[in-house]
Amino acid sequence: GDSVTQMEGPVTLSEEAFLTINCTYTATGYPSLFWYVQYPGEGLQLLLKATKADDKGSNKGFEATYRKETTSFHLEKGSVQVSDSAVYFCALRGRGSTLGRLYFGRGTQLTVWP
């Protein structure tokens, strides 16, 4: 079945460091891929998405590229800030999903120190 495997955390970085959070997926066909972010005490917010191979999603300095050949959608940011501290979730939605069901990874806690 469809599933997402996400890099285990927690990840601790200094401000301005480079961030990579790995995400790989298993799915039939070509799913849509998402990164969500959850700030403390809040719900999930869509950070970026990609709907087909080689698409690059980007938002707020974060980027992720849909790599069909490696079934990956790694999240990157060139220079993190303290305000990026949050939990990040990778998710997929099956191409044939008529009801929009999302499959989530377990989440990666990111802490950025000044």
Partner 1 sequence: DAGITQSPRHKVTETGTPVTLRCHQTENHRYMYWYRQDPGHGLRLIHYSYGVKDTDKGEVSDGYSVSRSKTEDFLLTLESATSSQTSVYFCAISENGLAGGPGEQYFGPGTRLTVT
Binding site for partner 1 (CB under 8 A): 4, 6, 34, 36, 42-46, 49, 89, 97-102, 104-107
Spatial distance between the Cα atoms of 39 and 3, rounded to a whole number of angstroms: 24
Cβ closest to partner 1, residue 22 vs residue 97: 97
Q: Least separation, in Å, of the C-beta of 55 and partner 1?
A: 15
Cβ closest to partner 1, residue 6 vs residue 66: 6
Three-state secondary structure call for residue 82: helix
Cα distances (Å, whole numbers) of residue 36 to 49, 80, 104, 110: 9, 16, 9, 13
Q: Least separation, in Å, of the C-beta of 48 and partner 1?
A: 11
